[in-house]
Structure 1
Amino acid sequence: MRLVFMGTPDFAVPALQALHTAGHDIVAVYSQPPRPAGRGKALRASPVQHAAEQLGIEVRCPVSLRKNTQEWEAFAALQADAAVVAAYGLILPQVMLDTPRLGCLNIHASLLPRWRGASPIQSSILAGDTQSGVTIMQMEAGLDTGPMLLRESVPITAHTTATTLHDALSALGGTLAVQALAGPHAAVPQPEAGVTYAPRLTKEDGRINWHDSAEAIDRRIRALTPWPGTFTQLADGTVLKIGNAQPNPTQQHNAPPGTVLDGTLTIACGTGTLRLLQLQKPGRGMMEADAFLRGFALDKGTLLHSLPVE
């Protein structure tokens, strides 16, 4: 089949590779333009652009598609049977959605209609969902509202992190994209019940509120590591990033939430406690707790703050 592929981050790379391996003729790849990255702020191509160039596929990187009639014409000239979209990052105008013979298919990292929007992987862990998955959807103008062609779930356990779930769904997305194009598959409208939205994340979403339960804080750490990362503050304003922790939801205490309870970095939560396993202090990398404590004291009774320290 003659395809256009549209994607930008690591999540989309397995789908591009799977479609290429399946023998589809990928006539062009669309990806976000190279961005400044690293200490030198040199322009860096996206993971999808890098993968496409390795496969010898033409890459197009428009800054915007809105009112971009020149790009609309170039897209139409590709005469694609279908476009496959995975975390591309630009909104496709209706004229582009209507151009391919079979329309545009989206690889979405959730079990639609739950978690439409920008952060479905993180939102599913934060909410305590027991499963996530991938939906292959026929795209339309609404935000992830199109009819579903394929849908497959994966479990979320007490140890699932954003990284492990990302990798599982990324691989599954490639498999389902190939299956969707091998069709035909009935397009099933999304149910009106059960719609939830996954907002775009900010760094402030990573701030730990020690008044939450130990389980909720653990979910936040697993959901938001490595980005935007979770953090807390000391009384002097020092920011400590938290990379991994172990909740004990039934451990009783009488201390204010955020209090260091012992020398193993067990922290009082709204209910239960949380033992910090990996931490990062300013200017250093993430460390195991014992290595961290050799160079940074967090004495029993120290209070970790839930709100910004003035």
Structure 2
Amino acid sequence: MRLVFMGSPAFAVPALRALHAAGHQLAAVYCQRPKPAGRGQRMTRCAVHQAADELGLPVRTPRRLRGNIEEADHLRSLDLDYGVVVAYGLILPEAILDLPRFGYLNIHASLLPRWRGAAPIQAAILAGDTETGITIMQMDAGLDTGPALFAERTPIGPDDTSATLHDRLSVMGGRMILRALSGEWPRTPQPAGGTYAPKLSKADSVIDWSRPAGEIKRRIRAFTPWPGTETRLGGAALKIIAADIVDVAGEPGVVLDDHFTIACGEHALRLTRIRQAGGATMDGSAFLRGHAVPIGTKLG
């Protein structure tokens, strides 16, 4: 197959590598433009850009596709069979969607129509879903609303984080797109309705201790590694990496004992892995050995 690949983050790299290894002709790779990153704010290529360069594939990084006549003409000239899209980050207008002979296939990290949108992995953990998966869908002009070819499921374990699900689902997506391109599949329209997973921001990281402990723990798992979950201790930011639910009660946000147990709106959380701004990740017990946190201290 002659393909264009559109994707940007690390989640998309296994699919790109799988298509290349399978012998598909990748006529172009589209991804987000290099951006400043790190303390030095050096211009950095996204993960797909780096992988495409390693594979010797041509890369294009337009700022937008909507109304972009130059890119539409270029894509038309490639005489494409399919486009494959994985977390690209730009909207594809109908003028672009219509160019490949058989349209565009999207690798989406949820069991559509549940969790359309930008953050489906995090949303599934936040909601307490017991399973998620990958859906291969034919793209249309809507937001993850196109007909589905097929889906595969994977359980969400009690210790799964967005990081562990991300890695598992990205490998699944690479395997599944090869299957999708290997034969003809019926396109099944999605049911009406659906749920949406909005884009996350750094503001989502702040813990509200008035919420139940179970909900806060899901938030910690969902927001690992980004945007993280944090609270304030003595005016300084404290990032919570992992915590256990404890069946005790108290005023929300207050330290209840010398094991770093924090009262929530319902039950409590014992902080087992934490990190101060600029510091290393450590066990909660190790943190307490080096920092005085008296019982009754209030976080938030």
TM-score after normalising by structure 1: 0.94
Task: Tell me if 1:153 matches 2:153.
Answer: yes
2:235 alignment counterpart: 237
Could you tell me which runs of 5 or more consecutive residues in structure 2 were left unpaired when the two chains were aligned: none
1:274 aligns to what? Answer: 269
- Is 1:252 paired with 2:252? no
* Amino acid paired to 1:246: D
Aligned residues: 300
For 2:210 and 2:13, how far apart are their aligned partners in 1?
39
Three-state SS of the structure 2 residue aligned to 1:262 is coil
Give the Å deviation of 1:33: 0.5
Question: What secondary structure is seen at the aligned counterpart in 2 of 1:258?
Answer: coil
Spell out the pairing of 1:198-217 with structure 2 (5 A cutoff). 198-217=197-216
Distance in structure 1 (CA, Å) of the matches to 2:205 and 2:277: 16
| Secondary structure at 1:212 match in 2 | coil
- The alpha-carbon deviation at position 282 of structure 1 amounts to 2.6
- Determine if the alignment matches structure 1 residue 261 to structure 2 residue 256: yes
Residue 161 of structure 2 corresponds to residue 165 of structure 1? no
CA RMSD of superposed structures (Å): 1.1
Say whether residues 1:300 and 2:295 are aligned partners.
yes
2:16 alignment partner, SS class? helix
**In structure 1, distance between residues paired with 2:184 and 2:144:** 21
Deviations 1:271-296 (A, max 9, x none): 11111011122331322212322332
**1:300 partner amino acid:** I
Misfit runs of 4+, over 3 Å: none
Contact 2:107 2:136 in 1 (8 A): yes
Does the 8 A contact of 2:260 with 2:288 survive in 1?
no
Rounded to whole Å, the distance in 1 between the matches of 2:275 and 2:248 is 27
Gaps of 5+ in 1: 306-310
Task: Report the alpha carbon displacement of residue 149 of structure 1 after superposing the two structures with TM.
Answer: 0.5
Provide the secondary structure at the position in 2 that maps to 1:241.
strand
Deviation at 1:12, TM superposition (A): 0.1
Instruction: Note the alpha carbon deviations across 1:94-143, whole angstroms, 9 max, x for none.
Output: 11100000100000000000000000000000000011100001000000
Instruction: Indicate if the aligned counterparts of 2:260 and 2:285 stay in contact, CA closer than 8 A.
Output: no
Deviation at 1:206, TM superposition (A): 1.3
Q: Secondary structure at the match of 1:189?
A: coil
C-alpha contact 2:18 2:178 (8 A) present in aligned 1:
yes
Matched-pair identity in %: 55
1:308 corresponds in structure 2 to none
- Residue type of the partner of 1:90? L
Q: Which residue is equivalent to 1:144?
A: 144
Which amino acid in 1 is paired with 2:53?
E
Name the counterpart of 1:218. 217
Aligned 1:53-202 pairs, distance under 5 A:
53-193=53-193, 195-202=194-201
Aligned partners of 2:72, 2:80: CA distance in 1, in Å? 13
Residue aligned with 2:167, SS: helix
